[in-house]
Every structure is written in C-alpha cells, then in structure tokens.
Structure 1
Amino acid sequence: MAFAILAARELGLRCATLWTASACGEADLSNGHLDTKMDWIPGMPADLRLRDLPSVVRSTDRDDIMFNFFIDVTATMPLASAVILNTFDELDAPLMAAMSALLPPIYTVGPLHLTARNNLPADSPVAGVGSNLWKEQGEALRWLDGRPPRSVVYGSITVMSAEHLLEFAWGLAGSGYAFLWNVRPDLVKGDAAALPPEFAAATGERSMLTTWCPQAEVLEHEAVGVFLTHSGWNSTLESIVGDVPMVCWPFFAEQQTNCRYKRTEWGIGAEIPDDVRRGEVEALIREAMDGEKGREMRRRVAELRESAVASGQQGGRSMQNLDRLIDEVLLA
C-alpha cells in the first residue's frame, strides 16, 4: 500500500513492500485496439499485446478507481527500501534486470507457499495456516486417491455468466476425462451457480463438484493431470510446484499477463478465448491431457518445478534471498 511506504519514510523507518502479483504483472474493446503491440516495455517480449497487460492498465476510464490505485502504488514503490517478489529467479530472470533498473533492491523469495512449508518449524504458531477464506473440503483428496495418475482435470475459475458456466460444464463433460471442479455459490455473476440435472447424469461418478478444496495439495496429487484456471499468480505457482500444466481463462488484474507468459514464454499453458465455447474447452483439455502440445507443456513444467523446489529448500536461492533481505535491509 502506498500510504504505508509514505508513512515509513516520514517516520524514518525502513519499509520492504511485498508485490503479491507476478513480476510480469507489474510491468473490453472489439475494434482491434487490444492487439496493439507494446514493444517499448523494458524486459517484456517485443510481441506483447495490449490485451496481454493487466486489466486495470487497459482501462479506458482514466477516472477508474482501480486504475488510479494501480498508478499510485507503482509510482510509490521506488520509495521503498526493498521490493519482495513471490517468484523464483529461474522463472523471471529476464525481467529482473529491467525491474532492478527502476526499483529499489529486489528480493525473490518464492514460491512463498513452498518456502513457508519447507522452512517453518513444525511447532510454529503459523505453521499450517493457509490463506483461503473459504472452508476447504478434504473429501476432494480422498476422491482423488482412487484415480489413476494424471487422469483428472482440476478446475477452479473466477466469476462468469450463467451461459459461460454451461459452456465450461459441457466442455468438461465432453472431454471424457474425470474432473474435480470448484463451483462456488458466487461463481455466476448476479445469480446462484446452477447446473442442469442432465449434466450430473452425463458425468456420473467421473466428476466431483466442490465449493472449495486445499488447492496446493490437490495440485500435488498424482491423479491431477491438468489445471483449468483463471490464471491468478498463487494458482500459477501452486500448479508449477504440483508439476501440472494449465488451461487458462484469464479474467482480470494481471491474469491476462500471467496467461500470456505461460502460453508463449514458459510453455506451460494454453488459453481459452474470452467468449468461451464448449468445443474449445473440450479440445484444449484433450490436447493438454494427451496431445503433443500437452506432453511438451508437461516437460516444461517439470523443469520449472525442479527449479522452484530447489529455490524453496533450506540453502536454496529464495531462502538465501530472504536471509539477504533481513541482513541488508531490515537489520541494516
């Protein structure tokens, strides 16, 4: 928050700011404007499009609250003593040099859920404390226990219209794979999330619907083969640690940018168009689960997982960066 940085400077205190979105994320129109190339952003690919940038940056309303909040926060970040990023060096190395030229010292300490799990003492009062605001349903893990390796599609997507809910539902059903899907009560904008009886009849025992679940554990379960996701950053890191490629339907914030990087820079994801159709959902899931592109995505995500796990261990790069942050900034 910008006010915290300003308050720290006024009081003469050191202040390290935690950027909870992705590093690439720091950095609707139908007239082709969103395909405009953004080849002038330091550290970003030359073929980046306007549609690949965070939604608040693409706002056409310069009085938009979130747009101005975003501008205020990013303008204030150079005043901090340090910037902490929830990522690991091997994932975002090309961006670090460009960001380092614009910001205070940067410390990559992620994936945070992994570094916390590996390095907190078992008797720590915050050990095992999660960040979910929804009640997790443990039966999802028990349901996965009876499934073959890499045979299940796990889905957790942000709010959508009732029409899009049906397209996703029938796309999952038509794929032929077993699936575990989080269908929260608030999933549909302005209405309750409801699926027709024939959907349950068509999917039978190969489907399980939940309102929430322990996502990091689900993604690390050997039965999960693909993650159908809105492409949030925490979900992205959890999927990498779980060794699971992604089929993405980005919605807001920096999800579009995350999706773009997963699709073209890291090679670990595919993208569903904004106006989702069941045939596209079905085809992308099948390709990600058993197609040639899916095998390549699985190979790439396995490489990134290896780097993430190494970074989050005692003595790993992220833990070294955390020690440096304490010594060089907080205790200096």
Structure 2
Amino acid sequence: MKKPHVVCIPAPAQGHINPVMQLAKLLYSRGFFITFVSTDFTHRCQGQESLGCLDGFRFEVIADGLPTVGEMMEDFEAFLKSVSVNCTAPFRDLMRKLHHPSDGHRVTCIISDAFMTFSLKVAEEMGVPEKEIKRSLKNLLGLSPTTFFLDADESYIGSGYLDTTIYWIPGMRDMCLRDLGGFIRVTDPKDFTLNFVIDEVQNSLKASMIIFNTFEDLEHEVLHAIRSMFPPHIYTIGPLLLQCRLLPDDVLKSVKSSLWKEEVECLKWLDCHEAASVIYVNFGSRTVSTPQQLIEFAWGIANSNHPFLWVIRPDLVMGGHTILPQDLMDEIEERGMLVSWCPQEDVLAHPSISLFLTRCGWNSTLESISYGVPMLCWPFFADQQTNCRYACYEWGVSMVIDNNVKRKEIGDLIREMMVGKKGKEVREKALKWKESAEIAIKEGGSSHTTLELLIQELAQLRDVSD
C-alpha cells in the first residue's frame, strides 16, 4: 500500500540535523515513507556507515559547495552564501526525480529546516505542501515582524549600550539588546548574515505549517504571542529527543546523525564515577575559541577539583590545533577525560553527570532540561545569547560565564554550582523542568497530543495527482 512520502531537508550543521532527523524517525515509526536529504558537506562528515538500512527510510545527497569542517566553522557568512546559492537547483532536480518514482511513493510533503527556505519555492513549483521545523520560538519573534540592527558604531558595543532594555518583542519580557544574539549584534544594516536570517524568517511564514522543537510549559508566553500574530498551524512537539526515546531500538539506533565519530568509551569512564559528581564540558559543533580562552577554561576546570568529561574538537581553536600544555595535562590526568566528540544525549542522561558547561545552543539547552542537568552558559553566537538569558533568568536552570574568560571565575562558578547554595537552587529547578518535559510527551501531555494531530494532518495529505 502506498505510504505518505515526506522529504526532510535540514541545514548542513549538527544542531539543525538532529531535530529534523528525530522528527523523521518519529514519522517513519508511524508508517511514513521518508527521504532524508543531506548535502555533500554532511555526507562527507558522516560517511556511508551512518546511513543505516531501514526499509522505507532512504537518503539522498545534493551539492552545497561547502568547504571542509574547519574552514566552515570560521566563516559562517561563506557557509550561508554557499547553501543559499548552491542547493536550490540540485534540490529542484531531486524533487523532480522523487515526484515521478517507479514505486508509486510520490512526494506528499516537504519538511524543511528554517535555514533551507529555498525548498518553499521548489515545493510551490511542484504543488507539494511544505512544512517547516524550527528549533526555537524566540528567534522568530526576535527577527519578525520588527527587526533592528545596533544603530551605533563599534565603540558602543563595549560601553553598556548592549544593556539597553527593549520592550517591543511580544511575549519576551525584560530583554536587553545583548540578549538577542550574534545575528543582530551588528552595526551595518546591510550585513549579509543579518539580512539572510531576516529573509529566512520572513520566508518561513509562507509555509503551511511551522513545527517547533519545544513544549508548551517552557515557552508559553512566546507561544501565545506567535499564535496571536501568525496562522494557526503552529505545532509544538518537543522535546523531540524524549519523543524518540520511546521508539524501538531498530529505529532509534540504525540511522546516525552525528557529523563526527562518537567516542562511546566515555560512557564506560562515566560508569566508574559516583552519581552527580562529573562536570560535562562541550562547546558544541560550531564554536571556535582563542588559545588563551581554552587555557583559561582548562585551568578553571582543573582547579575546581571535580572530575570532568570534556569534548574538545580538533578544530575548536581558531586557526590552529587544539593542544593543551603538558603541565596542564599532568594536572588533569587523574580526574579528566578528553574526547573529540561523544554521544551527548547518552552523556547527559548518565547518572554521574552533575553539571553541563555549554555554549547554550537550543539542542544542548533542551537536552539539559530534558535530563535535569544544570548548566553553566558561555554563549557564542546565533540564538545562544537568548537561550542563555532564558535559562538563567526565566527557567532558573543555569548561571552565566562572563565573555572575558578567567580561570578563577570558572573555578568559582563550578564550585558554587556543584556544592553551593545557588547550585542547589538551580539543581532543584532543573529537576522540576525535567518533570515538566516528561509530562509533555506522555499520553495526554501537550507535546504528545500535538504530535498526534501533526501525524494525522500529514497522513491526510494526498498527492495532487490523485
């Protein structure tokens, strides 16, 4: 029998691939035929072994013109330009092929990442409904319908100007300019990245449905504001990682989404430690730091005298190799484990983890909340400043690290979070949010109910030729 055929296309970045893959697995488990579209960059990183062998879950690859991993990390503008310029024609050609298949599974729907809105035009050309998955609600409100840039020269950036309070974003109270993140923190209204993101947000509102990886209790004020301004087809179905935890192992584990080889032996290392005793450090897939920042973090973590698991990508340091001094390596030899990448969900779910030092991307933030792990946030770019502000001041699950990284501050904050009064309060709130996330995905919960409605609507879509 012909199944509904959903084409899923994420942006070629780890934080965007994960939620789209999670949604694809959920739909596959409910009887959908899935085509997951990767770009050359993603395919090179993952390798053939990641593609799995599920019947009815296939992969296609389109050109993107992107360079190697390290080069991409340091030039985000080039990344955006390459994707927007190079992906449209290959995706159009792929859709023409998929829309006339030999097995009868013509495309009934495209689910695209918010940074891949060129798929909207292709979907319109093909007469195929297009849905869009977004990771965070607050980006949508921060950039639409009213968008600004910092109307100041560079000297204002360090003079307290970013502490200016703003009141005009619906559903987002007590925000300052610094809370709106790196995309907006520019002084040129013609800045390419700013205008790219504005265009993508505006384009996304043309989709027939917008899907968010969040849950009602977590962002209820933002949700209320969005629903008052935009069409009613808003679906909140997160945390997707918890929804996927309910899937059978053959679906959950057979298709990989990591762009790096995961060093799973770190889980055995964690098994050797007491409950709630280990600091987990991971600055994500795109962050780059200076050599001095890396050293300050390393000594601060080492001086806290707690065991730690630290993910240090080979390309973490700007323009060079990620190498720690030998005296520092000697200091941490007995207490720390360094890996180049790890299965983060499994790490955060491990009972030995007590604290997550993070850049506060949306995936990491939602994963921490889902597993009740408090955070220390050091936001870098994109949505991370906004996520950090909410994690610290709205949800109370985190403390923030000053941009001017100093080893003493790092050590003091870690000790406070691990054994201090503030740390105890943050830990209690983190556990409450964990419970709230778990309730949302259970039968009768907000995300469970919304996911069922989403599946019903997608299943009812019919090929326009039928």
Does TM-score exceed 0.5, indicating one fold? yes
Q: Which residue of 2 aligns with 1:14?
A: 129
Identity, in percent, stands at: 45
Q: CA deviation at 1:178?
A: 0.7
Larger Rg: 1 or 2?
Answer: 2
Q: Which residue of 2 aligns with 1:23?
A: 137
**Cα RMSD for the two superposed structures:** 1.7
Which is bigger in relative contact order (C-alpha 8 A, separation at least 6)?
1
Instruction: Describe the shift of the 1:211–1:327 C-alpha distance in structure 2 as closer, same or farther (beyond 3 A).
Output: same
Matched, 1:76 2:191: no
The more displaced of 143-152 and 318-327 is: 318-327
Q: Which among 206, 227, 242 is matched to residue 114 of structure 1? A: 242
Report the TM-score, using the length of structure 1 for normalisation: 0.94
Q: Which residue of 1 aligns with 2:218?
A: 91
Matched, 1:59 2:198: no
Q: CA deviation at 1:131?
A: 2.5
Matched, 1:179 2:336: no
Letter in 2 for 1:2: T
Q: Which residue of 2 aligns with 1:44?
A: 172
Matched, 1:148 2:281: no
Q: Following the alignment from structure 2 to structure 1, what is the Cα–Cα distance between the partners of residues 197 and 295? A: 34
The superposition leaves residues 160-218 of structure 1 with CA deviations (integer Å, 9 ceiling, x where unpaired) of 00000000000001111111101111010111111111112212311111101111111
Is the partner of 1:123 in helix, strand or coil? helix
The superposition leaves residues 301-328 of structure 1 with CA deviations (integer Å, 9 ceiling, x where unpaired) of 1111111122223553212211212334
Q: Which residue of 1 aligns with 2:368?
A: 239
Instruction: Describe the shift of the 1:277–1:140 C-alpha distance in structure 2 as closer, same or farther (beyond 3 A).
Output: same
Letter in 2 for 1:135: K
Q: CA deviation at 1:115?
A: 0.7
Q: Following the alignment from structure 1 to structure 2, what is the Cα–Cα distance between the partners of residues 208 and 228? A: 15
Q: Following the alignment from structure 2 to structure 1, what is the Cα–Cα distance between the partners of residues 359 and 411? A: 16
Q: Following the alignment from structure 2 to structure 1, what is the Cα–Cα distance between the partners of residues 288 and 230? A: 34
Q: CA deviation at 1:6?
A: 3.4
Q: Which residue of 1 aligns with 2:328?
A: 199
- Matched-pair contact (CA < 8 Å) for 1:19–1:86: yes
In the alignment, structure 1 segments of 5+ residues that lack a partner are: none
Report the TM-score, using the length of structure 2 for normalisation: 0.68
Q: Which among 424, 431, 440 is matched to residue 302 of structure 1? A: 431
Q: Following the alignment from structure 2 to structure 1, what is the Cα–Cα distance between the partners of residues 267 and 364? A: 17
Q: Which residue of 2 aligns with 1:4?
A: 119
Q: Following the alignment from structure 1 to structure 2, what is the Cα–Cα distance between the partners of residues 330 and 99? A: 25
Q: CA deviation at 1:11?
A: 4.4
Paired residues, number? 328
The more displaced of 311-320 and 59-68 is: 311-320
Instruction: Describe the shift of the 1:181–1:148 C-alpha distance in structure 2 as closer, same or farther (beyond 3 A).
Output: same
The more displaced of 316-325 and 146-155 is: 316-325
Q: Following the alignment from structure 2 to structure 1, what is the Cα–Cα distance between the partners of residues 140 and 363? A: 15
The more displaced of 243-252 and 100-109 is: 100-109
The more displaced of 90-99 and 31-40 is: 31-40
Instruction: Describe the shift of the 1:130–1:265 C-alpha distance in structure 2 as closer, same or farther (beyond 3 A).
Output: farther
In the alignment, structure 2 segments of 5+ residues that lack a partner are: 1-115, 142-153, 462-466
Matches within 5 A, 1:120-139: 120-124=247-251, 127-139=253-265
Is the partner of 2:132 in helix, strand or coil? strand
Instruction: Describe the shift of the 1:207–1:122 C-alpha distance in structure 2 as closer, same or farther (beyond 3 A).
Output: closer
The superposition leaves residues 96-128 of structure 1 with CA deviations (integer Å, 9 ceiling, x where unpaired) of 01011222321111111111221x33333x645
- Matched-pair contact (CA < 8 Å) for 1:77–1:103: no
The superposition leaves residues 256-289 of structure 1 with CA deviations (integer Å, 9 ceiling, x where unpaired) of 0000000000000011011111111111111111
Q: Following the alignment from structure 1 to structure 2, what is the Cα–Cα distance between the partners of residues 42 and 49? A: 14
- Matched-pair contact (CA < 8 Å) for 1:268–1:297: yes
Q: CA deviation at 1:148?
A: 0.8
The superposition leaves residues 66-95 of structure 1 with CA deviations (integer Å, 9 ceiling, x where unpaired) of 211111111122211111001111111111
